Structure 1
């Protein structure tokens, strides 16, 4: 070991033991042998003490490969594991590798973004809970999985249930309020209970009443966008009175005017979501409320303005506020940092956002029906936003008439941007030349945003050339997750793109006119890739060309072809989480 160099990676702004931050601004590669630090066995004691303070998962994975001793230290000190696809790890193998976990996050089937996921994906929670039941797991986060009432009963009566503090079953299905009743009766230490977006069979509202009677430690309760409607305001008030640390409440539909008693009792509440408001004159919000999401808020925009200066986060996706309402509200939110809204904000709304909300960190503009029926966000709004909100780190935007100049402006001013999702849509008001490319704009954007880690680009009636696709690979070297839609790329363009994307870990391509043979050859060369989803490629010989993509320990899921009006069109779903599959195979061999 002493003869071969060992490298350790140091990240920027990593906290040390004294709580201070390092001042280095770039990731450094250090050869320990060159600076006089030995990696022989006699120095293992020092590294045994250092390894537990390494929190980055990639650094942890690298450390565990150095030698058996370091692998063992990583195993007994690892406290949290995230599994992006439940089929890539076996529960027993995971806990043999990391026996002392106290936090686990697992995702089931992929997000059904375009209605392509169908049938039984077999993302059952049961085998995981059987393995977890006898362990002191304090935090469980399951997404898009199938949960039965018997599973929740098992969890509630197990060792894990007695110490469980965080339970998230977001976008799950298969269970009822009877299963929730088992949880709230037995898991007395719950601080967070989230079932957002889940489809739940609602027998009654007894689970919420029991939660109000038994729990005194709750901090976050979230059943937003679920199918639960049998909610009594009195139970919410009782939760607020019994749980002195309640800071977040996200519920289903009910009139806010019925929650005055709840608001009065929620003295430390900071976040509220889910209700509708018709008469804000009758509502007095909690003094610390700074994150708000109300449905149909367009009836009471003016009544909310007096407390708008408190808001640091607003979710207006279901508020039905028009462009004028956006402008009126945003002018009163100088401390706003996070905004989620729709294309209804328009260019004028973005201009006001740039002028009055200088502290913005995250902006998501969703595309709904109004984007196609009315004038959407254009280059005018994007340029104003880039020049005014220079602290933006996260930007999702549905726009039309977005030019190279607008993209260049993003790269020039938004230096902190780490997540960009751009969707170009077609509206009746479009005036751009559909044959023009965005090659130069994309190049300048990526050159100006070196911190970008995720980049999505969906196009409509407008595309990049092979040169533009090469620019994405060349200047997006640090991007780890890319998602593309409606791109037209040749075999040469694919080859050059993959040649430069040496750090790309996750790639999704939707309806991109790409040859399977070229894609198969290119993917083989990209060793960093962990996940690949491809839909709507040019159909060649499926078996032969897909075989080019296969590697040892890859996992492949194939969605059958579909017949369209144009004849047989092959739609492919190619899922891979290579890192975790390899990792689990190593665990099973130990």
Structure 2
């Protein structure tokens, strides 16, 4: 096999598309390693500091598609300093010189400046796809550069990004010759846009399949857009609350009904329940419904889901109450993903374990759950584990930390033990409630395919973390906060950290001495200590972020970040 001509091997490798399989191929021998690197056109980088742009380009000189992630997930909870890093600028500068054929760039939790967007717009003549998820640092001026100069743009997706508003003119920068857009998402933009320019753009782009609008777009304007884009498959509405005449409401319902291919709905900013019935005619076609910004009550959801029997993904706020989730369990038998977000993360919550059990009883194909609730029981989660053995993601958050089973007063150990026992393909798990070391022992024994574990306010001793690090061979991401784990727990994972993407620990009992020992033992690991008070001499570490890297310590760390 290794004697194949390079041309033959290159042709064969074109049919191997997943990153995991490509990585495995590159390990066969030096010849395959070289050909695979030269042949690779798509790359995924889970941590922008795990490799440098120069190393990447030398390894893969012909990349056309790149996915790049910056800050880890806990940055969403303000646990990272504002200026921590994850800057796109050095990547764009290097790629502009060596990747002129770059076509797609997908970024997550990166700091992106307007200068970066201007360089992207000018340096890559065939640029087609830009996805910015939870990114910051740029403004509508940068978007104007992308719109005005990327002549072949098909996707502009600004998902949950923080964008500075410098006027709604950026949509008018799309040239009149632009007809290539397939996806346009500016739902996160907190400003009024140039609707006339948007309407003309939507009318020109006859291949547009996904359109997600911000709250500045009214119901009347939504109706006008739908008339011009009946081919939409994915729609994010603007504000769904407005005074309409009866004729206007009828026109809106007709426009929605004429979107025969519509499969996904989101948006619903400030939704008024009186307008929800306008969605009933298309309910049977829907597979995805995202109401995570819509504070609708249980009765409204009950009526809506009765018209949506084929839903596979449902995101809602806990305003829907248990009765709304019970209706989902009765009507949506094909549901695979459920997310229930809290209206107020510091409040008492509107749903309990009753709604989750009802979903599990009615939706046996459920594979992913994110559930915020005010109380829970071991019996309920055990029932979920038995009803839905195909779960690959289970993230439960009881709003009050360290809350026990509200019926028995016992820890929630048996609940999560049942999840890892019965759900053999579990990949991601987030713990909640009063938990002892016993829960972690279960995870170590049964979580053999677990890749991501998130822990908060849990465990009794260092043994808990040791159970996980010694028992979960596929663990890639370990996130821990407000737990009693010290240096012994930290150092028990010396044999694991270089095979993981990262370790995050905050408000634990680790010390500067333990972190220093970790850094000395694993030189290929970047061990970053984040100081809340730069002048503090306390040996206890508030925040630790450790990740593997072939590029060595980064050069752009702020003063509050010390790399050991």
TM over 0.5: yes
- For residue 513 of structure 2, what is the aligned residue in structure 1? 543
Q: What does the per-residue CA deviation read over 1:286-313, in whole Å, with 9 as the maximum and x for residues that have no partner?
A: 3332322211223322333333223221
- Quote the Cα distance in structure 2 between the aligned partners of 1:225 and 1:55: 32
Given candidates 83, 95, 98, the residue that maps to 2:60 is 98
The alignment covers a number of residue pairs equal to 532
1:151 to 1:389, Cα distance in 2 relative to 1, 3 A = same
- Quote the Cα distance in structure 2 between the aligned partners of 1:356 and 1:478: 32
Q: Is the 8 A contact 1:530 1:576 kept in 2?
A: yes
Q: Is the 8 A contact 1:343 1:368 kept in 2?
A: yes
- Quote the Cα distance in structure 1 between the aligned partners of 2:479 and 2:72: 11
Question: 3-state SS of the aligned residue for 2:479?
Answer: strand
The CA deviation at 1:45 is 7.8
- For residue 72 of structure 1, what is the aligned residue in structure 2? 34
The CA deviation at 1:518 is 2.3
What are the residue-to-residue correspondences of 1:339-354 with 2, within 5 Å? 339-354=314-329
1:154 to 1:445, Cα distance in 2 relative to 1, 3 A = closer
Q: Is the 8 A contact 1:249 1:273 kept in 2?
A: yes
Question: 3-state SS of the aligned residue for 1:557?
Answer: strand
In structure 1, the gaps of 5 or more residues are 1-38, 585-590
1:58 to 1:276, Cα distance in 2 relative to 1, 3 A = same
- Quote the Cα distance in structure 2 between the aligned partners of 1:271 and 1:153: 29
1:525 to 1:132, Cα distance in 2 relative to 1, 3 A = closer
1:218 to 1:525, Cα distance in 2 relative to 1, 3 A = closer
1:568 to 1:499, Cα distance in 2 relative to 1, 3 A = closer
The CA deviation at 1:396 is 0.6
What TM-score, normalized to structure 2?
0.87
- Larger RCO (alpha carbons 8 Å, 6+ apart): 2
- Quote the Cα distance in structure 1 between the aligned partners of 2:164 and 2:405: 49
1:515 aligns with 2:486: yes
What are the residue-to-residue correspondences of 1:191-230 with 2, within 5 Å? 191-211=154-174, 213-227=176-190, 229-230=191-192
Question: 3-state SS of the aligned residue for 1:173?
Answer: coil
Given candidates 73, 77, 84, the residue that maps to 1:121 is 84
Q: Is the 8 A contact 1:498 1:526 kept in 2?
A: no
The CA deviation at 1:397 is 0.7
What are the residue-to-residue correspondences of 1:183-582 with 2, within 5 Å? 183-211=146-174, 213-227=176-190, 229-253=191-215, 254-278=217-241, 279=244, 280-283=249-252, 284-285=255-256, 286-293=259-266, 294-299=268-273, 300-369=275-344, 372-378=347-353, 380-426=354-400, 432=406, 435-459=409-433, 462-463=434-435, 465-525=436-496, 528-539=499-510, 541-548=511-518, 550-561=521-532, 570-578=541-549
1:168 aligns with 2:141: no
- For residue 180 of structure 1, what is the aligned residue in structure 2? 143
The CA deviation at 1:117 is 1.3
Q: Is the 8 A contact 2:444 2:472 kept in 1?
A: yes
Q: What does the per-residue CA deviation read over 1:358-406, in whole Å, with 9 as the maximum and x for residues that have no partner?
A: 111111111231883454222x222221121111121111124322222
1:376 to 1:489, Cα distance in 2 relative to 1, 3 A = same
Q: What does the per-residue CA deviation read over 1:214-264, in whole Å, with 9 as the maximum and x for residues that have no partner?
A: 31010000111123x231332222122211110111122221212322110
Q: Is the 8 A contact 1:212 1:238 kept in 2?
A: no
Q: CA-atom RMSD, angstroms?
A: 2.7
1:526 to 1:157, Cα distance in 2 relative to 1, 3 A = closer
- Quote the Cα distance in structure 1 between the aligned partners of 2:222 and 2:351: 36
- Quote the Cα distance in structure 1 between the aligned partners of 2:305 and 2:491: 48
What are the residue-to-residue correspondences of 1:8-27 with 2, within 5 Å? none
Residue range with higher mean Cα deviation, 348-357 or 513-522:
513-522
- Quote the Cα distance in structure 1 between the aligned partners of 2:47 and 2:90: 14
Q: Is the 8 A contact 2:450 2:475 kept in 1?
A: yes
Residue range with higher mean Cα deviation, 143-152 or 413-422:
143-152
Q: Is the 8 A contact 2:25 2:33 kept in 1?
A: yes
1:44 to 1:144, Cα distance in 2 relative to 1, 3 A = closer
- Quote the Cα distance in structure 1 between the aligned partners of 2:393 and 2:363: 15
1:425 to 1:178, Cα distance in 2 relative to 1, 3 A = closer
The CA deviation at 1:435 is 4.5
